[in-house]
Amino acid sequence: MKKMYCFICVVLLITALAITGCVTSPEKRTLAPGLIMQYLGEAQQNWGGMMAASITVSVPVTIMFLLLQRFFIQGLTAGAVKG
């Protein structure tokens, strides 16, 4: 079961990268495929730059979540009340 789950995740990731790489222009890509295609390619493999960019992008999202966590949890529990 776990192998099948991993296989499905890999297929979905490859499909997402292929679709965003072929169909959309570089300005319209979402953040994850844009970062991957920016730092990794046929002629270059800048792992350090990609990891630094990933941290730079994830820090504001994490800070925003930590600041608004109380409201997020309240919304989840308010929507779960039956009746």
What pLDDT, on a 0 to 100 scale, did the predictor assign at position 13? 72
- The two tokens of residue 37 are 């295609």
Q: Output the tens digit of pLDDT for each of the chain's 83 residues.
A: 777 877 887 787 777 666 666 666 777 777 777 777 777 766 778 788 878 888 888 898 899 999 999 888 888 888 777 76
What pLDDT, on a 0 to 100 scale, did the predictor assign at position 53? 81
What pLDDT, on a 0 to 100 scale, did the predictor assign at position 74? 85
39, 46 contact by CB (below 8 A): yes
What pLDDT, on a 0 to 100 scale, did the predictor assign at position 81? 72
